[in-house]
Amino acid sequence: MTISLYDTAARQSRAFTPLVPGRVSIYLCGATVQAPPHIGHIRSGIVFDVMSRWFAHRGYDVTLVRNVTDIDDKIIAGAESEGIPYWQLAMRNERAFADAYDVLGCLPPAGEPRATGHVPEMVTLMERLIAGGHAYAAGGDVYFDVASWPQYGELSGQRVDEMQAAADSSSDAKRDPRDFALWKSAKPGEPSWDTPWGPGRPGWHLECSAMAHKYLGAAFDIHGGGLDLVFPHHENEIAQSKAAGDAFASYWLHNYWVTTSGEKMSKSLGNSLLVTEVVKRVRPIELRYYLVASHYRSHMEYSEDALQEAGAGFRRLESFVRHATQRVGETEPSIVCADFERAMDNDFGLPAALAAIHEVATDGNKALASGNDVVARGALASVRRMLAILGIDPLASPWVDRDTAGSELHDVVDALVTGQLEARQQARKSKDFTTADAIRDSLAAAGIAIDDTAEGARWSLLEEN
């Protein structure tokens, strides 16, 4: 029962050993609420939701903290362009992220702290760094002294002498262009908080170190986030936290991007890929399936065809679950198959895990066709358990409570196909095999497979090769 994780810092897979036996602590860099979320933003939340579910399945008590960055340059600029306070824009977009996590079935984190609510913790951290000779105040700003930390670059593998100037400030007060801002002095008209060095606002990197320490302690198990955060954000977090004396994270996990035409998904793509828009084209449960179907350390190349193909793949599983439930009754989700366990334990190998689910569903469909209810019941219980771990069991909360479209669509298709099967049966009784074969072929062209059993014809969605 060993779970292996690909640790970005170690550049290899490592067996997971928790700091506290039986418990897993995770800090996830969450949303910077500049705008409502597109599907690229939300992938990270879904990835770590699945990871948390698997740890829980393996018997761990999971604590996931996912922060909200509710103040930065773009939030301030966006609010100014709309003529509203920064906090109004931030809260509007924070609600949009919360709605997106909810509509896609993510479990709520243990905590979701906001940057602006933790200025006292940031001040304490800066005081520790200044006292240790790793930070300095200059002109109302506070900077981390990169040269004071020889290990700087250990996460990203970069060399300090090859780095360019930090992008967060061009102040002449910096000792070294590569030093990064922990605290930014207030500009006229900008929101600010009082500190011993004057009014200002947090630097991006400082907030996560302060909040991780507050909620998970000086040492915790896993720090996660998108690949684009490795440098400078996570590199700077490590430097300032370890320089202050914290052990910080034992493992670093990074999910890769959702890309379009090979480029990282960005706000310039417009609104078509906002979560609120995509769920108008596909059911939320199908969008979740699409976002978990790739390995978290692989880039997802978005296309409408890929999204529709994923939806079809989910519907094949859903068809088995609904047909089997109608046949053998409700079952409690139970054991998972060995192939699924191996895939999930191996750095959350979701493509192989989904392949294992489809294989069990195929066996279950064969059992239904042959009238073997015992095998069908076992397959149903196993498939539902595995789908539940991925958050996509169509008969479980939240989908059974609010996403009735799949059930209603299935009922409509079932009524239409049943009518065709009755016509086919009548044609066969009349020895009109030409008509019977034509009905079968038309259903096959529509993606419907027919199994003739001793109890009559049954239909299911065709499995793709």
pLDDT digits (tens, 9 = 90+) for 271-310: 678 999 999 999 999 999 999 999 999 999 999 999 999 9
Asked whether the beta carbons of 144 and 182 are under 8 A apart, the reply is: yes
Mean pLDDT of 40-68: 97
Instruction: Look over the chain and give the mean of its residue pLDDT values, rounded to a whole number.
Output: 91
Task: Return the exposure string of 151-168: e unless at least 16 CB atoms fall within 10 Å of the residue's CB, then b.
Answer: ebbebbeeeeeebeebeb
pLDDT of residue 328: 93
**What pTM value is reported for the model?**
0.86
Question: pLDDT tens digit string along 56-71?
Answer: 999 999 999 999 999 9
Mean pLDDT of 437-448: 84
> In this predicted structure, which of 79-88, 337-346, 383-392, 430-439 has the lowest mean pLDDT?
430-439
Report d(CA 252, CA 63) in Å as an integer: 16
Residue 282 region by backbone torsions, left for phi larger than 0, else alpha for psi between -120 and 50, else beta: beta
> In this predicted structure, which of 131-140, 148-157, 408-417, 444-453 has the lowest mean pLDDT?
408-417
Is the pLDDT assigned to residue 225 strictly greater than 90? yes
Q: Which helix (H) or strand (E) holds 52?
A: helix 39-57
Is the pLDDT assigned to residue 137 strictly greater than 90? yes
Q: Where are the beta strands (DSSP E) in 119-207?
A: 135-138, 141-144, 180-185, 200-202
In CATH, which of 1.10.730, 1.20.140, 1.10.10, 1.20.58 is domain 282-461? Answer: 1.10.730
Is the pLDDT assigned to residue 234 strictly greater than 50? yes
Asked whether the beta carbons of 316 and 361 are under 8 A apart, the reply is: yes
Question: pLDDT tens digit string along 98-123?
Answer: 999 999 999 999 999 999 999 999 99
Report d(CA 9, CA 157) in Å as an integer: 9
Asked whether the beta carbons of 265 and 258 are under 8 A apart, the reply is: yes
Is the pLDDT assigned to residue 416 strictly greater than 50? yes
Query: What is the distance between the terminal CA atoms of the chain, rounded to a whole angstrom?
Result: 32
Report d(CA 168, CA 73) in Å as an integer: 10
Mean pLDDT of 341-353: 98
pLDDT of residue 462: 61
Asked whether the beta carbons of 27 and 219 are under 8 A apart, the reply is: no
> In this predicted structure, which of 239-243, 246-250, 339-343, 417-421 has the lowest mean pLDDT?
417-421
When comparing pLDDT for 331 and 8, which is higher?
8
Residues 6+ apart with CB under 8 A from 117: none
pLDDT of residue 269: 56
Boundaries of every domain in the chain? 4-269, 282-461
Residue 258 region by backbone torsions, left for phi larger than 0, else alpha for psi between -120 and 50, else beta: beta
pLDDT of residue 411: 55
> Residue 284 is encoded by which pair of tokens?
């939320």
CATH of domain 4-269: 3.40.50.620
